[in-house]
Amino acid sequence: MQATAPHEATAAGNIANIENVMQEIADHKGCGTTGGSGKASCGSAAGQGDLPTEIWEKVKNHPCYSEEAHHHYARMHVAVAPACNIQCNYCNRKYDCANESRPGVVSEKLTPEQAAKKVLAVASTIPQMTVLGIAGPGDPLANPEKTFKTFELIAKTAPDIKLCLSTNGLALPDHVDTIAGFNVDHVTITINMVDPEIGAKIYPWVFWKHKRYTGVEAAKLLTDRQLQGLEMLTERGILCKVNSVMIPGVNDKHLVEVNKAVKSRGAFLHNIMPLISAPEHGTVFGLTGQRGPTAQELKALQDSCEGEMNMMRHCRQCRADAVGLLGEDRSAEFTTDKIMAMEVNYDLDSRKAYQAKVEDERVAKVAAKQEELETLAGEMSDIKLLVSVATKGSGLINEHFGHAKEFQVYELSTAGAKFVGHRRVDLYCQGGFGDEESLETVIRAINDCHAVFVAKIGGCPKADLQKAGIEPVDQFAHEFIEKSAIAWFKSYLDKVNSGEIEHVERGDAEIRQGALISAA
Ligand code: CLF
Ligand code: SF4
């Protein structure tokens, strides 16, 4: 039995206005990262930029739907959905759904009631947690009772939290009305192909209406249902993100077709993620040696699709019980034992007050960037280069090199600083000592960058980075990332123009294949 919908009146109001909103979505380009075609990016502005108000309200504090918001706002997942109705060759069902998380991760499963308690506990501890997503550990819509019961409980007790869902799409058309009734504004569908011949190489079987389908027939059923579900959602004004796993030699070139197919059906954002594949994950692809893409291959595909629609580049492939900002993992602070012992004080006013402060910080950050951008006015250079940044969030350079578990990557040009991705790394600093092996993996992960911005760095890693041709920059400690990156780029251009240095292209970089960064 499906849960009742608490927000039907509001959902109906949204639907009434849908044609305008859909047209505005179709016209708009640039959210999630800086936009293509020279359009201003809503994702990089603190204000709503060129976004219509209805859409801005939906994305402004959703860390996945707005690149800019992900520096400031957190999401959490609750692992209430263990079963799945398909098999992907990059998934080992001993672990969480690999459509949204990295392979090899096992989340703590919860009942809907435990999940509701957890949401209140996290919301009272992390006031910038604005979104609750259900993304596994199997497929949320293969577990509809548990998924919708969880939404029902949370909508009643924590009405300011946005509800979000991620699905493989097979069961989606059957549940669109219930999703709309719960006022779920954000749905992700993982679509890896629109050609069943390619699909047969990714999906060995799907299970639908008590029957198992295999091969091309299975893939045809899946793609038809995914695209139908996408159309039904966008007709109702629900913002849809499409996740695609880039599998070199299987669907990498084909993803351009997928991009066009989902854009034409009203998808708002496309998130192309790298295949993470290693034998120890026990997946078909891992065991058959299927490789994932390099950093440059991934970026090139994302760049080629950006002209078509909004691309997401800040996805962290997070676990089904993830908690915190996208680059951090605070799930260990909220295990079931700890939650049950926790005193929960869900105070809407203090959450709002905290979020108002976050908004002030966003405005200050954008103003600082705009001011710095003016220094590049009149520069004619066509140099484009990447830099990486150690950050704990808030858009600041506020992490020590040795403590960074990931680096954010920005592309610098005379147009400014554009977020283009992130690289997970093994911690360099282990208990106060530098680990040389980890340093090598850090260098491989950011090898395509000209500089790395940090709050602090020791003498040894500094020298090794310089040897590798990557400039360690600590002069902007605790300052805003984009403003600092633009200032550094200006001085880089000055040095190139004066002949003090010669600009050289950097090589490729590696995407880390491990299952998970060490738990925070
Ligand atoms: Fe979770 Fe997904 Fe909602 Fe975000 S995650 S259900 S849309 S709230 Fe976000 Fe995590 Fe990437 Fe997903 S970074 S894996 S895209
Ligand atoms: Fe695994 Fe998710 Fe694919 Fe199901 S949909 S097989 S849980 S990756």
DSSP-assigned states of every residue in 424-445: E---SEETTEE-HHHHHHHHHH
Which one of the ligands is nearest to 105 CA? Answer: 2
pLDDT given for residue 429 in this prediction = 67
Which of 310, 320, 317, 324 minimizes the C-alpha distance to 423? 317
| Residue 155, token pair as written in the block | 């909508």
- Alpha carbons within 13 angstroms on the beta-carbon side of residue 33 total 28
Beta strands in 177-268 (DSSP E): 186-190, 205-208, 211-214, 239-246
pLDDT given for residue 229 in this prediction = 98
Give the residue, by CA position, lying nearest to ligand 1 atom 7.
64
Which of 482, 504, 307, 495 minimizes the C-alpha distance to 409? 482
Counting runs of H as helices and runs of E as strands, what totals does the chain give?
Answer: 16, 18
CA distance 474 to 61: 30
102 vs 58, residue with greater confidence: 58
80 near 108, Cβ under 8 Å?
Answer: no
Give the residue, by CA position, lying nearest to ligand 1 atom 12.
100
CA distance 427 to 438: 7
pLDDT given for residue 363 in this prediction = 87
At 66-90, the pLDDT tens digits run 888 888 899 999 999 999 999 999 9
At 115-129, the pLDDT tens digits run 999 999 999 899 999
Find the 165 Cα to ligand 1 centroid distance in Å: 8
Question: Is the CB of 84 within 6 Å of ligand 2?
Answer: yes
At 215-255, the pLDDT tens digits run 999 999 999 999 999 999 999 999 999 999 999 999 999 99
Q: Which residues line ligand 1 (CB under 6 A)?
A: 64, 75, 77, 100, 131, 133, 135, 164, 166, 186, 188, 241, 271, 315-318, 326
Residue 385 has pLDDT above 70, yes or no: yes
Average pLDDT over residues 451-464: 92
SS3 220: helix
The alpha carbon dihedral of 212, 217, 218, 220 has a sign of negative
- How distant is the alpha carbon of residue 202 from its chain centre? 22
CA distance 410 to 358: 22
At 159-184, the pLDDT tens digits run 899 999 999 999 999 999 999 999 99
- Quickly state the pLDDT bin for 435 (edges 50, 70, 90): low
Residue 277 has pLDDT above 60, yes or no: yes
At 13-34, the pLDDT tens digits run 333 343 443 344 344 433 333 3
Task: Supply the pTM of this predicted model.
Answer: 0.84
508 near 292, Cβ under 8 Å?
Answer: no
Residue 426 has pLDDT above 90, yes or no: no
Residue 44 has pLDDT above 60, yes or no: no
**Tokens 């793609």 -> residue:** 223
Pocket-testing residue among 77, 84, 147, 207, ligand 2, by greatest number of atoms within 8 A of Cβ: 84
pLDDT given for residue 431 in this prediction = 58
Q: Which residues face 56 on adjacent strands?
A: none
Share of the chain above pLDDT 70, in %: 85
Residue 519 has pLDDT above 90, yes or no: no
pLDDT given for residue 23 in this prediction = 44
77 near 134, Cβ under 8 Å?
Answer: yes
Average pLDDT over residues 282-288: 93
Which of 228, 293, 305, 223 minimizes the C-alpha distance to 259? 305
Find the 100 Cα to ligand 1 centroid distance in Å: 7
pLDDT given for residue 28 in this prediction = 42
At 333-364, the pLDDT tens digits run 888 888 888 888 888 888 999 899 988 888 88
CA distance 274 to 315: 10
In 330-447, alpha helices (H): 336-341, 348-373, 436-445
Q: Check residue 34 and report its DSSP letter.
A: S
Burial environment of residue 61 by CB neighbours within 10 A (0 to 12, 13 to 18, 19 or more)? buried
| Residue 280, token pair as written in the block | 């120890």
- Quickly state the pLDDT bin for 317 (edges 50, 70, 90): confident
Share of the chain above pLDDT 90, in %: 56
Which of 473, 489, 485 minimizes the C-alpha distance to 44? 485
SS3 264: helix
The radius of gyration computed from the CA coordinates of the chain, to the nearest angstrom, equals 22
Where b means 16+ CB within 10 Å and e means fewer, 137-146 reads bbbbbbbbeb
18 vs 330, residue with greater confidence: 330
Which one of the ligands is nearest to 75 CA? Answer: 1
Residue 134 has pLDDT above 60, yes or no: yes
Give the residue, by CA position, lying nearest to ligand 2 atom 7.
97
pLDDT given for residue 62 in this prediction = 93
- Quickly state the pLDDT bin for 281 (edges 50, 70, 90): confident
Average pLDDT, the chain: 85
- How distant is the alpha carbon of residue 372 from its chain centre? 27
Which one of the ligands is nearest to 82 CA? Answer: 2
Give the residue, by CA position, lying nearest to ligand 1 atom 1.
133
Beta pairing class for 429-430 and 416-424: unpaired
Element (H, E) at 452: strand 449-453
428 vs 352, residue with greater confidence: 352
Average pLDDT over residues 202-206: 97
- Quickly state the pLDDT bin for 43 (edges 50, 70, 90): very low
Q: Which of 145-149, 224-228, 323-327, 483-487 has the lowest mean pLDDT?
A: 323-327
CA distance 227 to 242: 11
Amino acid of residue 389: V
| Residue 382, token pair as written in the block | 């066509």
Q: Which residues face 205 on adjacent strands?
A: 87, 214
Pocket-testing residue among 59, 61, 97, 100, ligand 1, by greatest number of atoms within 8 A of Cβ: 100
